[in-house]
Every structure is written in structure tokens, then in C-alpha cells.
Amino acid sequence: MSEYFKIGKLAASFGLKGELVLEHSLGKKTALKGLEVIFLEDKKDSFIPYFILAAKVKSNNEVYLQLEGIDNKEVARKLTPKEVWITENDFETFAAKSAAISLLGFTMINAGEDLGKVIEVIEQPHQVLCCILYKGKEALIPIHEESVEKIDKKNKNIFVVLPDGLLEIYE
């Protein structure tokens, strides 16, 4: 089974022919040229594919999408505000290497301890949070200059120095 990465959400419908506005966190302006399919989560870990008929840039972090089978605004509105996912291969193609979202799938390591894989990246105005599965629970780890020791892109590792007590709240 291929892994899916969340890249954003369908923020709004646009026009009368069922176009949708995809608000993404890919870190660069893109028309998603070559991307054939997006996935919407039906229920936990169950994804429904939607094939892209057309896509065009709206802004640095928004794209207009026309999806197969979505041909009027009423049907399009039912898909908002659903989260949008793409396969790992497509993610590696479309995400900017410098974007925070490119840390998805990386393993977080603190003082030699493997804490878990980054399953979600949450960008906030003043910080970036990485969500990992730590001892079976979701843990939010803030990422900033003081906490990141090194990012090893080749081996997909993030070496961090976390403040004392941060992980204990998730145990």
C-alpha cells in the first residue's frame, strides 16, 4: 500500500462548472502539472481518488482544480473543506525541498532515541509543529532554530534537542 501525505484542503468552490480551490502547503507556486489524481479521506485511512481534468495557479499556495465527475457548484461545495492527500511519489515531485511540509515521513531523533516518523506538519505564524506518533500517541513537537540540531535529508532524519519534560506529557 502506498503512503499518502496531506498537502492541504479544498477551501472553496469556484464558478458554475464545479471548479475547486485547493489551498496547499507545498511551499511553492505550482499548477500541479503532471499530477493525475488527488485523494480525499472518506474515513480514517480510507481514501477516495479524484482524477484531475485541469489545474491552474491561483496564488502561491492556491490552485484551481477541475475534477472528473464534479461538474457543478453544488457537487463541488460538498467536497469543501475536505483535506487533500497525494501519494508519497507525487509528494516528492511537487513539494518544495525547503518547505516545512517536506519533513513529512522523516524520523525524529532526540539524544539518540528514535521518537517516531513525522505524520503531519502544522505551519503556524510563529512556529512549525511536527506531529509524530510517540509511544502510540500523537505528539506535537515544535521545530525551530534552537531545537533542530541537524536535518539529514539523505537518510530522512531530523535530529532535535528537546526541552526537558516535553515528551513526558505524552507518556
- What is the tens place of the pLDDT at every residue in 47-72? 889 999 999 988 888 999 999 999 99
- pLDDT the model gives residue 2: 60
Q: Are residues 91 and 123 in the same domain?
A: no
Q: Are residues 24 and 60 in the same domain?
A: yes
Put simply, whether the predicted model's pTM sits higher than 0.75 gets the answer no
Q: Which domain holds residue 109?
A: 101-170
- pLDDT the model gives residue 67: 92
Q: Is 2 left (phi over 0), alpha (psi -120 to 50) or beta?
A: beta
CATH of the domain at 21: 2.40.30.60
Average pLDDT over residues 8-22: 90
Q: Which of 96, 115, 133 is the last residue of a domain?
A: 96
